[in-house]
Amino acid sequence: MAKLWSGRLHSGLDAAAEDFNASIRVDARMVREDIEGSVAHAAMLGACGILTPEDAALIRKTLNEIRAEIEAGTLAVDPAAEDVHTFVEQELTARIGEAGKRLHTARSRNDQVATDFRMHLRGEIAGVRELAKKLVAALCDKAEVYADAILPGYTHLQRAQPVSFGHHLMAYAFMLRRDCSRLSDCARRMNESPLGSGALAGTTFPIDRAITAGLLGFDAPCRNSMDGVSDRDFAVELLSALSILMMHLSRFSEEIILWCSWEFKFVELSDAFSTGSSIMPQKKNPDIAELVRGKTGRVYGDLVTLLTLLKGLPLAYNKDMQEDKEAVFDALDTVKASLTVFSPMVETMRPLPEKMRAAAAGGFINATDCADYLVSKGAAFRDAYRTTGDLVAYCIAKGLTLETLPLAAYRTFDPRFGEDVFEAIRLENCLALRKSAGGPAKESVLGQVEEMRAWLEG
C-alpha cells in the first residue's frame, strides 16, 4: 500500500521498520472520529471555495457510507495500513478517484490526529463519568440502608471514634464526585480544535477554522498552530484525573479487603466477586478488589509514560507522540473495567452490622465523648482529656471498658461524673449526637445521600 509521504522517498521502509512505524493497531479505534473530522473538513473546503461543491458533496457522502459500513461490520479497518488516516483516505480514493485525493488539501496528519484524539477522549470521558456516577449511586443506596449501623472509625489503623457504615461509604461518594468534576474540567479544557493548524504553520489556503470547530462540537479553534499540533496537556491531565480516580478505588479496595478478613469480618462479598484457592478449600478471596488495587499501579505507569515521553520534545510534532495514545487508551480501558466491576461488587456486598458494633464496643472509641461529657460539666477540655486518658489506662489495667467501669471508680478520677455518663458514652448516643455538618449522625448521612442524589440527577 502506497504511503501518504512516499513522494520524497523511493526505496520503501525495511519490513521491521515498517511494522515498528505503523500505528494502525492503536489508532484504529479512532476511525469514527477520523471520518467525522474529514467530513467536516470537506464541508469547510467546499464552503470556502477550495473544493467544488460537487467534490465536497461526493467526499462527504462517500465518507458517511464508509463509516456506516464500518459500524455495520461490513468493512474492516485494513491492518496493513500505516495508520487510521491512511486507511480512510485510501478507501475514499479507491471509491471516488481524484476527488478523494483532494480531501487532504489544507491539512496535515499532525492536526488531523490531534483533532481525532481530542474528539475520541471527549466521548471516553463522558463514559468514565457515567460509570463513576453509577458507583456513586450504589454507594448512596447502601449508605441510606446503613446510615446508623455503628462502625469503628480509624486513624493510623487504630480504632478512633464511632461512625456509621453509611457515613464511611459516603466519604468515597464525595471522592468520586470530585473525580467527575476533574474529568469535566479536563473535557472543557481539551475542547479546542487543532484542525487547520496544518503540520505546524497553518496553511496558505483561505480556510475557515471556525467552521470545522463548530461542526465537530469544539468551543473554538486552538489559537496557536504550533501548540495545536504539539499540545498533549489534555492527555496528561486526563491521565492525572484517572490516576486519582484509581487511587480512590484502590483505597476503597484496601478497606474492602480488610473488612472481608476474619480479623475484621465487617462485610461479606458476593461469591460472584470472590474466588477460591486451588489448594485451600476454606478460602474465599476478594480477588476483584485486589485486582483493582493492583491495576492502579498500571494507570500510574501510563501517566509517568506520557510525562516522560513529552518532557524533552522540542516543538512542534515529533514521532515520539505516536506513543501517547497507547498509554491513554490503556488507562481508559483499565479504569472503565475497574468501575464496571466495582459497582455491582458494592451493590451485592453484605455488611455485617453486628460485627461492626462488636468491634466498636472494644476499642474505647467513646473516650472523646467521655471527655466531652466532663467539659459539659464545667471541666476545661485539656483537663477532661487527661482525666479520660487516665480512665482508659485504668480500664485496660483492670480488664474493663468505659461502659463497665463502676460509677464509684469514675468519681475517684473526677467527682463531676454522674449516672448520666453511661448515656453519654453509649455508642448509639455518641453517633446520634454527632450532628455537625458532614458528621456521622443518621440525619447527617441521609442529608449527604440526598445531596449526592441531587447531583446525580443534575
49, with CB counted inside 10 A (0-12, 13-18, 19+), is exposed
CA dihedral 65→71→76→79, nearest 10 degrees, is 110
Half-sphere exposure of 158 (CA within 13 A, CB side): 4
Q: Which grid coordinates belong to 306?
A: 506520557
| Residue from 75, 70, 85, 91 nearest 23 by CA | 85
Q: Which of 402, 309, 327, 409 is nearest to 363 (CA)?
A: 402
| Distance between CA atoms of residues 125 and 102, nearest Å | 33
Per the CB < 8 A criterion, the answer to whether 3 and 82 are in contact is yes
Neighbouring residues of 437: CB distance < 8 A, sequence distance ≥ 6 = 444
Residues with catalytic roles: 156, 277
As given in the structure block, the three cell numbers for residue 232 are 498533549
